[in-house]
């Protein structure tokens, strides 16, 4: 599916990828759930997240925390308080460090809690998206605080695109488990 450019496409893509992700999660075997992620033997997997996340909980928490970024950013800016999407002291060049902090913060969060947090934040994101018109989401210059982009692109990035990322990672882990 191409990157959504309308509210309808955004909602469909978010729901479809959320459902696909949950189906994949439901089909994970005990071995896949209990084996720590290890992508060190794949030279193509160089990005920091391949080393950072060690299990399903870590992935769900990452998705949850990015949902929170969007929810807080939109809420704060709609109230008239200018705030960047990536909170200080981080920025788009250092957001990897922020992701590591999210990871550290949740090392004692259970998988069950992570699932519940992710499910609730997903519903919150969809409810927030529903409040906006197609034009508000996908027209430029509607909200000054969005910068040169469109609000909808942030919703796409924190939902359907991020769920794709999660599925790719889980499938790579499944493949690794089969090799053993």
pLDDT at 150 over 90: yes
Top-level class of domain 7-30+67-179: mainly alpha
* Residue boundaries of the structural domains of the chain: 7-30+67-179
pTM across the whole model: 0.97
Mean pLDDT of 107-118: 99
Three-class DSSP category at 147 = coil
Helices 7-26 and 160-179, packing angle to 10 deg: 20
Q: How confident is the model at residue 180 (pLDDT cuts 50, 70, 90)?
A: low
Q: Are 76 and 66 in contact (CB under 8 A)?
A: no
- 10 Å Cβ neighbour count for 93? 8
Chain mean position to CA 44: 22
Residue-wise pLDDT tens digits, 39-77: 999 999 999 999 999 999 999 999 999 999 999 999 999
Instruction: Please give the Cα distance from 17 to 63 (Å, whole number).
Output: 13
Neighbours of 158 (CB within 10 A): 24
Q: Angle at Cα 29 formed by Cα 25 and Cα 32, nearest 5°?
A: 85
Q: Are 154 and 3 in contact (CB under 8 A)?
A: no
Contact call for residues 19 and 68 (beta carbons, < 8 A): no
């Amino acid at each position: 599916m191409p990157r959504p450019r309308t509210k309808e496409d955004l909602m469909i893509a978010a729901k479809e990828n959320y459902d696909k992700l949950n189906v994949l999660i439901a089909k994970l075997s005990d071995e896949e759930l209990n084996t720590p992620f290890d992508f060190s033997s794949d030279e193509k997997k160089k990005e920091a997240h391949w080393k950072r996340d060690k299990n399903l909980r870590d992935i769900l928490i990452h998705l949850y925390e990015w949902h929170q970024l969007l929810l807080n950013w939109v809420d704060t800016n709609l109230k008239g308080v200018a705030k960047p999407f990536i909170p200080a002291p981080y920025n788009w060049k250092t957001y990897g460090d922020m992701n590591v902090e999210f990871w550290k913060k949740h090392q004692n969060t259970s998988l069950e809690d992570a699932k519940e947090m992710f499910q609730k934040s997903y519903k919150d994101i969809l409810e927030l998206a529903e409040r906006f018109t197609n034009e508000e989401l996908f027209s430029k210059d509607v909200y000054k605080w969005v910068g040169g982009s469109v609000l909808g692109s942030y919703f796409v990035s924190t939902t359907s695109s991020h769920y794709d990322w999660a599925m790719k990672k889980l499938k790579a882990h499944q493949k690794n488990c089969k090799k053993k």
